[in-house]
Amino acid sequence: MGTYTALDDPIVDQTVERHLQQIVAAVTSRIEPQAIFLRGSFSQGEGSVVVESDGLRFLSDYELMAVTPHYRHRKWLQAVAHEMSDRLGVETSISRVHPENIVRNSLGNRPIKHIARPTIAMYEVQNGGRTLHGENLLDRGPAIDPKEISVWAGLRLMLNRMAESLDRLAVTGKDWESLRWVNKTILSCAEALLIVRGQYHYSYAERGGRFAELVPDLELGVAQANQLADLVRRATLFKLRPSMHLYPESMPVIWEQVRQACDSTLRYVIERYLEFSFDGYVEFPGRYLSQLRALDRLGGSWLPPLPPPLAQNLLLILRLLRARRWPALGLIANATYPAYQIVYSVVPLAFLECSEEALREGYRWLGQICSLGSPGESETARQWSHLQLCTLRAWRDYCYGMWA
């Protein structure tokens, strides 16, 4: 067992250590943050690295946080992260955290005045993060009980992984990058189920063990349970010690297995914790959005407090304008539901369904808040691919990095 990975390989540890020192040096060459933390799988000793004949292949990212009160440092840290990604050949992100927020269990940029609701990210940082520079602030806030992480966090995690994988479903060739996204999507199923059952843990290895024990209690069909258990077992092994031998099937077969796992997991979460069922994904967006609205009116505890949809959409408009992009008029004209939740309602349809009726429904919902353009072809397959890409683009615009 290494320091940063499950591999007992000193070259891997030395390489990661050298990379982290370079990143810290790049940050501190211009600013002096109160602290710099490492988060994510490398901080937990579970980073994914493949040892090849010509060097190392990194399948995990470097995720760092710099604690500084200066909001203007945010863009500069992003620039440093981009530069280090190119220099090191490992995708690197450096987020900014306001120092007042650490003691309030928040990783936000703007200071808050109360203890934040428990999140997956803060729980993992608090328990698996490492201080690379400055003060050790990770234990300053109240200890987070993983049982208090909301069901919405688990559902959102899974929907995010499904959205991120939309442009990879048609990939037929097997390579490390495609398997990496297969793996992330499978693990999100296990993570969502562990969260809703109050058994989440920050370690991948521990989550894998807990999920294996949980499967018999999920009341899934025998075939579904066995397939899901096998996929999560392989995905956990791949995360810790990546090997293509863990996925001997062709990519179309693997993605079909992933779809089945996502379908059974999503139905389990929705039926037991959102209290509605559905036959096909054609009806899912309308049922999902209506139930969210009903639960919000009742003050359902599974969701974070939501401001009015129009207020949320106005924030999205401001975000787009800051990026010098013209927002769709539907963000104001169709403000019955928050735009980001409309996108989330379409994600399962785009990921799991494939029919003429689903195609029309996906375009109808997404078209309320986005300019979809034209697929350029009239064939259903082309239109379906276009819908998936539009859904992914809308997810990046409206969901990524927001409403944590």
For 218-257, the pLDDT digits (tens) are: 877 767 888 999 999 999 999 999 999 999 999 999 999 9
pLDDT of residue 295: 67
Q: Residue 64 forms beta bridges with which residues?
A: 38, 94
Question: Cα–Cα distance between 199 and 176 in angstroms, integer?
Answer: 30
Element (H, E) at 183: helix 176-196
The fold adopted by the segment(s) 151-264 is Four Helix Bundle (Hemerythrin (Met), subunit A) (1.20.120)
pLDDT of residue 66: 96
- Is the pLDDT at 297 greater than 60, yes or no? no
Residue with more model confidence, 294 or 384 = 384
**Cβ contact 404:121 at 8 Å:** yes
**Percent of the chain at pLDDT exceeding 70:** 90
**Sequence ranges of the domains in the chain:** 10-142, 151-264, 309-340+350-398
Question: Cα–Cα distance between 163 and 180 in angstroms, integer?
Answer: 15
Among 227, 265, 20, 28, CA closest to 134: 28
Query: In this predicted model, what pLDDT tens digit does every residue of 87-97 receive, in sequence order?
Result: 999 999 999 99
- Residue 323 backbone phi and psi in degrees, to 5: -85, 10
Element (H, E) at 93: strand 92-97
Query: In this predicted model, what pLDDT tens digit does every residue of 9-45 receive, in sequence order?
Result: 999 999 999 999 999 999 999 899 999 999 999 999 9
Question: Cα–Cα distance between 157 and 161 in angstroms, integer?
Answer: 6
| Lookup result for tokens 């909301």 | 150
What is the maximum span of the chain, computed from C-alpha positions, in angstroms? 59
Among 347, 343, 346, CA closest to 163: 347
Question: Cα–Cα distance between 159 and 268 in angstroms, integer?
Answer: 14
pLDDT of residue 112: 80
pLDDT of residue 403: 40
Range list of β-strands (E), 148-290: none
Identical fold between 10-142 and 151-264: no
Class of the CATH-defined domain 10-142: alpha beta
Highest mean pLDDT among 100-114, 256-270, 388-402: 256-270
pLDDT of residue 376: 59
**Cβ contact 125:107 at 8 Å:** yes
Taking CA atoms, 219 is separated from 1, 143, 210, 268, in Å, by 36, 32, 16, 9
Q: Which amino acid is at 159?
A: L
Taking CA atoms, 196 is separated from 123, 154, 161, 191, 214, in Å, by 15, 7, 17, 9, 12
Residue with more model confidence, 300 or 327 = 327
pLDDT of residue 115: 87
Q: Collapse the DSSP code of 46 into the 3-class scheme (helix H, G, I; strand E, B; otherwise coil) and give the result.
A: coil
